[in-house]
Amino acid sequence: MTRPKSQTAALMSSPEDIEAEFYEALQLADLERLMAVWADDDEVVCVHPGAGTRVIGAAAVRASFEAIFANGGVPVEPTQVHRVHSVGSAVHHLVEQLQIRTAEGAQTAWVLATNVYVKTAQGWRMVAHHASPGQLGEGPALPEPASTLH
Amino acid sequence: MTRPKSQTAALMSSPEDIEAEFYEALQLADLERLMAVWADDDEVVCVHPGAGTRVIGAAAVRASFEAIFANGGVPVEPTQVHRVHSVGSAVHHLVEQLQIRTAEGAQTAWVLATNVYVKTAQGWRMVAHHASPGQLGEGPALPEPASTLH
């Protein structure tokens, strides 16, 4: 269901509101609603999980989600949110639970996501979404110091 | 070279300063200097590239870098920084260039990193570092909409 932009904007009075909007828009493959979440800025950044590349700027972010939505909505549920709130900004870190199709059938995948929100003159907006694969099929991610690179 | 904390703090008057501190501390495996960059907060978050897990809270972040530094400094250079600055917060997105040893010899690896800084009473501090592997050996990451998950 696509809502008028004005109605959507009224729902963006906190980082929690805008985060809920983001995931609902993802689930519904609602591009307009999704892009209403993002700041209209040339420097916003999005990293899709496993892509190995980054997408910079609202126009490029829109194009990247348009391509994803060509396959329909994303069955994603945000879980285990950690928050660092300060004046005018909020960093949320969460574990996204995704249902994916694999050669072995449906599986649950875990994705680690950092979402950054900033309070603008228009209300709270997303300025960064960085997602990367979590451990597949092993349940929620747990702290672990091991790393290949750093 | 380890500097006194007071001297380090004086260098943290901007997001750029603190980012430079972060990467120098990584290169030098200087744990005290590295942790002086981070906010002393139970909710700060760090995702090391390829780990598939997240590390939450300053104490756990310290332990994770201590384990990494057991192998020495990290030969990392920050490049291609994009910035979203707002009142009291800054999001930097960059491509980290790493020299890594592989079975085929030394290679350059690219890591995508989102760094979030917040202005605290003590000056600018890092509250989030999310790093994930970029495309190996293919040069700087470029925008690309393709993605397996979303």
Between A12 and B123, name the one with better pLDDT.
B123
Mean predicted confidence (pLDDT) in A60-84: 96
CA–CA distance, A105 with A24 (Å, rounded to integer):
25
E-strand ranges in chain A read 45-47, 55-56, 76-86, 89-102, 105-120, 123-133
CA distances for A112 relative to A78, A122, B39, B48, angstroms? 10, 28, 21, 11
- pLDDT at position A76, please? 96
Residue in A closest to B44 by C-alpha: A84
Of A8-17, A71-80, A103-112, B7-16, least confident by mean pLDDT is B7-16
CA–CA distance, A101 with A53 (Å, rounded to integer):
23
Compute mean pLDDT per 10 residues along chain B, 150 residues long, and list them: 52 88 98 97 95 95 97 95 93 94 88 96 95 71 39
- Please say whether the beta carbons of B20 and B92 come within 8 A: no
- pLDDT at position A141, please? 44
- pLDDT at position B147, please? 34
**Tokens coding A111:** 């994705």
- pLDDT at position A8, please? 53
- pLDDT at position B116, please? 98
CB < 8 Å to B111, chain A: 149-150
Q: Is the pLDDT of residue A5 over 60?
A: no
Between A109 and B6, name the one with better pLDDT.
A109
Sign of CA dihedral B38, B40, B44, B49: positive
ipTM of the complex: 0.84
| DSSP assigned state of A122 | T
Residue in A closest to B71 by C-alpha: A150
CB < 8 Å to B22, chain A: none
Q: Is the pLDDT of residue A138 over 80?
A: no
Between A13 and B44, name the one with better pLDDT.
B44
B112, A130: Cβ pair inside 8 Å?
A: yes
Mean predicted confidence (pLDDT) in A34-50: 95
- What residue type is assigned to position A43 of the chain? E
Nearest chain B Cα distance for residue A16, angstroms: 16
